[in-house]
Structure 1
Amino acid sequence: MRVEKEYRYLEGIDEIRIFNASQKDFYKPAPKEFDIEDIPLQELINNIPVEIHSLIPYEEGKDFIVQHIGKFTLNKYHCTSDDVKGRLLSKLSPLFYEILYDDLIDVYKNNNVKTIRFAYYNKNKLSKLSNAKIVFDNERIFVTSHNIDTEISSRVDSEYRDFDEDKTDIMENFSQTGSYYNINGKYTWSQGVFNIINRAKEEADDYYNIVFDLAIPEDQHIVNKIFESTNNKTTQCEEIIRIRTKDGILKIIELNIYSYFDESGVIIRQGLINDITKYSDDELTKPVDFLLNGFENSTKLALLIEPLNPKQFNFSRGFYDILEKDYKRYYHSKDILKNIAEKDTIQRINNLIDGELNKIDESFTYYIDGNPENKKVVELYIERFEYGNSTHSIGFLTDITEGQENYEQLIKSNEQRLILIKEIHHRVKNNLQILNSFLNLEKRAYSNDPDLIIEHMQTRLTSLALLHQKTYNSKDFKNINLNEYLEDHDRQTMNVIDSPNHIEFETHVDENLSLTIEVITPLLLIIDEITMNAIKHAFPDNSKNNKITKTIKSLGNNTAELIIKDNGVGLNDLDNISKNLGCEIIKSLTKQLGGNISLIKQEKGTAYKLIFPTEMEHTIE
């Protein structure tokens, strides 16, 4: 015999599970020690469907005298009222005395009301449920219990039903999509849910979240997040979790959970569940995951999706690194504002939350966990926008502590370096605006090929993340060594691009050629566009020795030359190729760079020559 006790957060009830207990574990004949009157309204209590047990506290709650035990329990243990009345609970049923003592004494001492579910298992199969309430009234403790037989009753198969009675239910017998409602703690499940979890309906299913209970341990934090999100307020959340059915099958399910109040003010939770296992690869991602993954290696820069919505927020790793929080335990609320040193900044953020402002762009001091001895200087940008009928928000959080410390030192001796530090952060926002423009262009051009859009955007994000990383780590913000950068760029590009053919990168750069961030940003995006075009179109077969070559050299007089070429199949229609979206993006970037690009004729493959300036004027004054 084994006893387990657990608070069920999803249903809001204490549950006591009793495994493989025999009759003698619950009832032990004991001598009568007290003369006790019958419980008032005894005849009424004997004839109502809910069992009522009555206990009288003894010696200030050290024990409890049995006054009345319900008929169902008496019949189960083959005894009568005279066999139990006037006995001490500790002697009559040591098991129940041990299990319930803390709850009984709490009800007696504090006049609380306790709700408990008893679940009885035989050979690990649920055999009976009993929902009980414990109350203290008229100097007695009353335990009411409603017993539920969990043996599966015979059911009429769907094929014998009247089709007009419930066509939706008939369809769900063949579906891997289901739904449920939770009203006053009781669940109603559609047939599709049972198809997903690979079993038939059981009586106990009305009292458990039979889907969430199957979540694998690695995804339990997502279930907790869903529960917190829908617990008290009208809200909606969408999540993907993995479950393991009782027959051992691992499934991936998509959840859309709503929480709302009916006209009487009763909270109702509705869940829509879809089995998407067959549509999933080993690694399943949602669109928001793709955006966040583009920032996964950034510890100083964080992407904030829905930062003004405490129920639906998604932040990249950098947010938790900057604030030094455990993402699994982090709870997003306005309490975080208490750690901001500048009160006027707190006020402006609150104005943004309340809808009085549409955006903020603030630099301020943040105390980690409220400790002034551990502080960081951060830059926060958040913008509100309307999409459909809803208001959404997006933003960026940047750790500029090191830059700020450098700023305080450099402002005394070098005003120009201060300008360059500000320009770095300005460039981050500019580059993100450029990426957003590219994304809008490609959404229109490649609406039928979202995977291509994602691959292109991931390549650009990787390039810019590498640039900003090297910029932050550099002591000279104005001069970035191009040769060192492109070596890392080639390696990361090959890790991102999904190409069926092996392609070798060969890069030759003047070792001493250094460029400002104004020049290198559009230059690397041009290289990305030409490289992606070559990978996709230049090597259609599985031939070996595929190669993309880049040569960059200084021409003097503030001018440099890039020649980038492949040894692929070449271009057949120069007029059409010059009008496609990739070429339009290249021409736009070349104009931004202030350069001149042209095609080079060669016997095999495609080659471009770009003449560009090595210096450009700063945009921050």
Structure 2
Amino acid sequence: MRIHKEYRKLENVEEVNVYDVHEKEFYIQAPKEFEMEKIPFPIVMKNIKTDINIFVPYKDGEDFIIHGLGNSALKRGNIQQEDIEGRLLSKASPMFHQLLHEALFEVYKTHEIKHVRFLYHHKEKLARLTNVKIIYEMGRIFILSDHIDTSESTLYIPEDENRDEDKANLIEYFAQTGSYYKINGKYSWTQGIYNIINRPRDEYDEYYNIIFDLTIPEDKPLIEKINKIMDSGTSHYESIIRIRTHDGTLKYLEMNLYSKFDNNGNLISRYGLIKDVTTYSHKKITRPVDFLLSGFKNSKKLALLIEPLNPKQYEFSKGFYHLIEEDPEEYSHSRAVIQNIVEEDVINNIIQLIDGQINELEETFTYNVKGNENNQKICEIYLERFEFGSDTHSIGFLTDVTEERTKQLELMEANEHQNVLIKEVHHRVKNNLQVLNSFLNLEKRAYKDKPSIIIDHMQSRLSSLAILHEKTYNTTDFKNINLKEYIEDQDGQLRSLIGLRDGIEFESEVDEDLVLTIEVITPLLLVIDELTMNAIKHAFPDKTKPNKKITKKITKIDNENAELILQDNGVGINDPDKITKNLGCEIIKNLTKQLDGHIELFEHEHGTGYKLTFPIYMDHTIEG
């Protein structure tokens, strides 16, 4: 068993929360130690709703002798009166001795009435509530108990039990609203009224108007006017009156009064809805609603909505006004606010909730701030409408999820783009492998007696494509590829594969800001590979020749075109027509056509050179 105690000053009651206890723990077998006189009026005590439990102080209040228990207490303990009377409380019910001894001892010593509320919880849910009044009289302690029990056999309470009542009490407590009924000359006041007047209930409250009784002298004539109007047959009247509570606080109350008459015009009942609308007085007033709403004061994205369906009794946290970008002092709550919602179906659902056609709403919608389509926010709203007695209440939350939804959409778009990229990678890998396979088949026929040439060519091509795949696909950017980085890496690969073996140096000069798309750079690198392999094969027949060099220079001609100059310092070309018809040159021509470029051979003082002109941009296959 776990116990938590707290004193409720407003209600003047000690509240005791009891967790993890079962009926079988209430009473245990204990020997009878005292003979007790018979309880008077046993039949009456069995038939009244309130349990009357009688205890006799023992050893100056150190313990208490059980004289008798009420009918419901006996029933819950599954015992008879003779099974429990004459036993010490500490022995017959150690649990109740632990719960009650302090309160019993206090009443025994002070002879003052004490109020206690016991809340029994099972699996963290409220199972039973017992209001207790402890009285000292005739040398005995009397405990008067009123039970609110959900089941006679278990402490478990169904999930929705008393749900609407709890919400109504929550709203009244925090929103400083309350109501009363007057039927057959007697008043019934809700807890919200006591929050407003800041005092606990009194047993005589049903006999007079506890609100009107606190009216300040200046407003007494107004009270007389209200009573005359309501008695004359008026069914509804609104007014604001001023009261002064018992602690001297001046409050302004908005009154909505209703009367019900029979067919003959006779008054049947009166109902009043009252709200504390005080803003300022001679001292700062802190309302219970402020404690709840202050929990949301730093939240600009989450708003608590208390009574959002009531245009006169609503209370909203600051997040609501921040979301709709309105001044709380100037804002007037009405259906007009929903007209800024973009989705018509959401508007219709809210109207159905207002009109009572549905009781719950959970929607996501787009809100045009002050009707401005260029200032939109994405919001989630939960509203619930419920009845308690003859009153309708509502409560809900409003959340600005614009940033989260934007990020979510960006993530979805990024995921979609990533899927496109993956498909594009697979497509390009397949195409490039097909190209390499075609080159390999051509060279197998052309160089069937020279496998080393085939291997060199394939290694160079594979290295270039590997560089392209690694750099480009790691960044997932197929549209802005810096060429200089690729050429530098390509030169490094050529030095490793061929340069060190054949004593050839590779030098390149590339414009720093030359940026190409994947459609351009793929065939361009393959063209450079073929030109380089051609130069290696034909420019340096003498393997012992020193200072062999192949250079590249790539520059922008204008905003649309670029130029590649690749040349060697080899032996030159004796028969240009013959060399332009070999397999390497045929491959170069096909790649140049794929590149949508133009290539030409030229001789210079020391060796051979090629000039390739090509476009910087080509149509891209990936959107975004």
TM class, shorter-length: 0.3 to 0.5
Instruction: Tell which structure's C-alpha radius of gyration is larger.
Output: 2
**TM-score scaled by structure 2?**
0.33
**TM-score scaled by structure 1?**
0.33
